[in-house]
Amino acid sequence: MAVKDIFQAVLEFDEAKVSELTRKELDAGTNIQSILNDGLINAMDEVGKQFSEGVLFVPEMLMAAQAMKAGLGVLKPHLADTDNKPKGTIIIGTVKGDLHDIGKNLVGMMMEGAGFNVVDLGVDVDTEKFVQAAKDNDAQIVALSALLTTTMPAMEATVASLKESGSGVKTMIGGAPVTEAFATKIGSDGYSDDAPGAVELARKLVAA
Ligand code: B12
């Protein structure tokens, strides 16, 4: 039994096996970040590669995503962080036109684990909804996710509207096609390429 078996089970779209192996690795004391990165996330990278190469198609991607989510569900309670740094409210969502939510869910879970109050608006969220939720929840941060290059402009529009709203809420963005340079260009307060980095960034933004 090893983390690579979890990787393999995601590629076999076997939800039950992913859950079972993830639980076994946890019980065996395997490092959680290793289960997450080397098992679950790497498997989705491989799925993405095979999709680009025309080996896998959308239904298979979806099945792999479900299998990965099963593993994430097992890890969720263990992603909690024990330290008690300053907390705040974070609104998170995937921008308009985009239905990818695995990375967003992972970031949300890790933020929750780090002690933030996380309000998840789901996927395909329009600008107005982000602005309203930031106001209603008196949020410190709005975190936007996008996995499609075609939905990155929706990030720009949302960041602009949040600034115009005058609420003073900070923004952070992420997702596979997003870069630090893009974050700077659209005036977002921060970017991270992974979930642990997103938590670190959130802590910095609430402390600033
Ligand atoms: C799974 C998947 C799907 C699933 C989504 C299921 C779900 N519930 O999310 C389904 C099958 C539905 C799907 C559909 C489509 N997909 Co898709 N999908 C993927 C795939 C294989 C994996 C994405 C994923 O979950 N990765 C794992 C997570 C953990 O990583 P992540 O999202 O990047 O998140 C991490 C970081 O980016 C960061 N992060 C994420 N969000 C945030 C937010 C903040 C604030 C911060 C700080 C950080 C952060 O932290 C996360 C954890 O480390 C990718 C390929 C890939 N490797 O990226 C393609 C991919 C994103 N999809 C792609 C495409 C083209 C599509 C479709 C258009 C396909 C089609 N023809 O229908 C549709 C679009 C649907 C829509 N309107 O959104 C392309 C996008 C190409 C592009 N340049 O735009 C990709 C890159 C595949 C490819 N190689 O071509 N997809």
CATH number of residue 192's parent domain = 3.40.50.280
Domain's final residue, options 29, 57, 79: 79
- Label residue 85 by pLDDT band (50, 70, 90): very low
CATH code for the domain of 61: 1.10.1240.10
pTM value is 0.82
Output the CA torsion 67→126→116→163 (10° steps).
150
Q: Quote the number of domains for the chain.
A: 2
Q: Are residues 119 and 189 in the same domain?
A: yes
**Is 178's pLDDT higher than 70?**
yes
Mutation test of ligand 1: which of 61, 151, 173 has the most ligand atoms closer than 8 Å to its C-beta? 61
Percent of the chain that is helix, strand, coil (3-state, to 5)? 60, 10, 30
pLDDT, residue 113, reads: 62
- Mean pLDDT throughout 75-104? 82
**Is 142's pLDDT higher than 50?**
yes
- Mean pLDDT throughout 142-153? 98
Q: Are residues 110 and 194 in the same domain?
A: yes
63 part of a folded domain: yes
Percent of the chain scoring above 70 in pLDDT: 95
Q: Are residues 122 and 202 in the same domain?
A: yes
pLDDT, residue 96, reads: 98
How far, in Å, from the CA of 107 to the mean position of ligand 1?
A: 14
How far, in Å, from the CA of 175 to the mean position of ligand 1?
A: 8
Q: Are residues 65 and 129 in the same domain?
A: no
84 part of a folded domain: no
How far, in Å, from the CA of 148 to the mean position of ligand 1?
A: 7
**Is 68's pLDDT higher than 70?**
yes
**Is 87's pLDDT higher than 70?**
yes
Q: What is the mean pLDDT of the chain?
A: 91
Q: Are residues 127 and 182 in the same domain?
A: yes
Smallest CA-to-CA distance from 180 within 201, 204, 163, 165 is with 201
150 part of a folded domain: yes
